[in-house]
Amino acid sequence: MLNKNKLKDELIAYLLLVIGSLLFAVGDVMFVNPYLLAPGGTYGLANVLNTVWPWKISYYAICMDIPLLLIGTWILGPKFGVKTVVSTILIFAFTWVIETLWGYNPVIHEGIVAEAVKAHNYVQIPHSDLFFIPDYFLNTVVAGVIYGVAIGLIFKSGATSGGSDIISMIIHKYTKISLGTLVLIVDSCITLTTLIAFKQIRLPIYSIILIAIESKVIDLIVDGIKSYKTVFIVTDKIEEVRDFILNDMKRGGTAFAGTGLYQGAQRKMIYVTLDRTDLVKLKSNLRFLDPNAFVNVIESSEIMGLGFKALPEE
């Protein structure tokens, strides 16, 4: 039974990997490249190179990805895994197919209405009558959502993004600068290539907006929409608060003793994790249970264990 469940999980993981890789290729070829954006990564740099020196995006990217994977494995060890290699190959293949069949035409464009008008004596019509009009902000939002869903699915499958992130990992090994900071620096440098290549300040700005949208969507895909809060309650009415949490809210928690720093008095503390709705309910009732309670609410990015998300299996 365990092996059957493990096989099912692996099949789902590879399905997510395929869907994520396909979406990434769609976002890059149909939304990012036509608007000259470069939201970091090897494919961001490949988009710039593709426009300046026409060659397929997929060729530029794979020429960077393979050496980076080899160098990363040599310096950092075999930490990237089979799925990262599969993801690299799938994204390359899907990108090649789409750019070969579709080309580099934008999806958000003047549309068939404008083409029909131009075919009949080039009579102008208002933009409001077009199916699509060129729109940098709309295109950036759509591209950010597609990228976010794509990379989120790849992460959920157990793969990593690889690419330029490997550069950050290598620098991190020798400098001890935080990985998050290095990823930001490397991606920012790639984003700024649009300014150097095309001399338009709006391009790196829109690329940064795309990255911000992408990161939020990745969080939603990986962590889910449900938001949890960790609450610490210091109270002299420990029994009243405990009974309310257990009986009215149907929640569990942990109670332990603490010592105040100022007077050295013994105080009771309750530790409990709640969703947003239960937190509102708790706060509104604490005013009556113990108006002098001290409450500290902390954002919890991930909660695992009984009553929440299951602990990961090996």
Q: Write out the H or E segment, with its range, that includes residue 275.
A: strand 266-275
Distance CA 25, CA 150 (A): 9
pLDDT for res 143: 95
Structure tokens at 261: 């720093």
Q: Which long-range contacts (CB under 8 A, 24 or more apart) does 132-135 make?
A: 132/107, 132/108, 133/108, 133/109, 134/106, 134/108, 134/109, 134/110, 135/108
Say how far apart CA 29 and CA 26 lie, in whole Å. Answer: 6
Question: What's the CA dihedral at 64, 66, 70, 76 to 10 degrees?
Answer: 60
Note whether 19 and 125 are within 8 A (CB): no
pLDDT computed for residue 47 by the predictor: 94
List the pLDDT tens digit at each of the 314 positions of the chain: 557 777 888 899 899 999 999 999 999 999 999 999 999 889 999 999 999 999 999 999 999 999 988 888 888 777 667 888 899 999 999 999 999 999 998 888 765 444 544 554 444 444 444 455 678 899 999 999 999 999 889 888 878 767 777 888 788 778 877 766 787 788 889 999 999 999 999 999 999 999 989 888 887 887 676 677 888 988 888 888 889 888 888 888 888 887 777 777 777 888 998 887 788 888 888 888 888 888 888 887 667 666 666 666 55
Q: Assess if CATH 3.30.360.10 describes domain 228-300.
A: no
> What is d(CA 292, CA 282) in angstroms, rounded to the nearest whole number?
14
Q: CA 219, CA 73: separation in Å to the nearest integer? A: 27
Angle between helices 202-223 and 136-156 (to 10 degrees): 40
Quickly tell me which residue has 């907006």 as its tokens.
209
Round to whole Å and give the CA distance between 38 and 192: 8
Domain boundaries, the chain: 2-223, 228-300
pLDDT of the residue at 127: 43
The whole-angstrom distance between residue 83's C-alpha and the CA centroid of its chain comes to 18
Q: For residue 16, give the nearest of 158, 114, 148, 131 by alpha carbon.
A: 158
**Residue 230 in contact with residue 298, Cβ under 8 Å?**
yes
- pTM score, whole prediction: 0.75
Rounded distance, CA 108 to CA 126, Å? 17
Which residue type, as a one-letter code, is found at position 260? G
Q: Which residues, including other chains, have CB under 8 Å from residue 276's CB and lie 6 or more apart?
A: 227, 229
CB atoms within 10 A of CB 154: 29
C-alpha closest to that of 279 among 219, 236, 233? 233
Closest Cα partner for 182 from 167, 192, 160, 194?
167
What are the residues facing 234 on neighbouring strands? 269, 294
Distances (CA, A) of 8 to 36, 222, 245, 271: 40, 19, 38, 36
pLDDT of residue 119: 53
